[in-house]
Amino acid sequence: MKRTLLPIACLAILAVGVFGQSDADYSSWMKTVGATSGSLRKSLDAKNKDAAVTDARRLQETFKQVHDYWQKKNVEDAMKLAMDAENGFKDVADQAAADKFEDAAASLRKASATCAGCHTAHRERAGDGSWKIK
């Protein structure tokens, strides 16, 4: 009996990890992006390397989750945009870590520009004024 329960428990945990990303999780990630991007912008302007790298890495991880979310839904354009953003925020982190703040600011603008493409294609305004995923 114990031999049967262990594989079932492992599969259940794996299923939660693989399929656990919901629209609510996605919405939560998106709500952190604006504030973190704003903080990153301020940190780059102030040449605060540690804070800039921390924020850029946080955004990089967020867009990795976003990529995985869209991958599970098999939405190619959104996956590419998320990967572009993830790679862009990696560039920002690397450049800030090397004290290349102007380059990092330019990379931040480029990474942030990917947002509009995905928002246009994959969200719509609900009747109550909120946004929902198409």
Q: What is the pLDDT of residue 21?
A: 66
pLDDT over 90 at 68, yes or no: yes
What is the set of domains in the chain, with CATH numbers?
22-133 (1.20.120.10)
What own/partner pairs with CB < 8 Å and gap ≥ 24 does 32-38 have? 32/58, 32/62, 33/59, 33/62, 33/115, 36/62, 37/108, 37/112
- What's the pTM value of the predicted model, to 2 decimals? 0.80
Share the mean pLDDT of the chain.
Answer: 87
